Amino acid sequence: RMTGLQHRWPVMADCERGMGRPEKALAMAGEPEVQRLDKAGQVEMRLVAAGARRDMGQADAAVVTLQSPELASHSVQPWT
């Protein structure tokens, strides 16, 4: 975060989940930094956000979070 590089943003959010702070991870998923990620990074952040929702007992919201064209595609992508 100190370097200004956003590519680690999903990893940092997942660390928040690992430390028992899914609310913080979910907040990070809504930050402007996510829009600066490449497509693979945005998909990774979506996966982290879905996991955070599951951690918070919001299974239905986690499923909705995973509904995106990138994750529904049948073609091989870097994140599949």
Contact (CB, 8 A) for 60 and 50: no
Q: What is the largest CA-CA distance in the chain?
A: 37
What is the per-residue pLDDT across 2-40, written as a single tens digit (0 to 9) for each? 455 678 899 999 999 999 999 999 999 999 989 999 988
What is the per-residue pLDDT across 60-78, written as a single tens digit (0 to 9) for each? 999 999 998 877 777 787 7
Q: How confident is the model at residue 80 (pLDDT cuts 50, 70, 90)?
A: low
Helices (H), the chain: 9-18, 22-29, 39-55, 59-65, 69-72
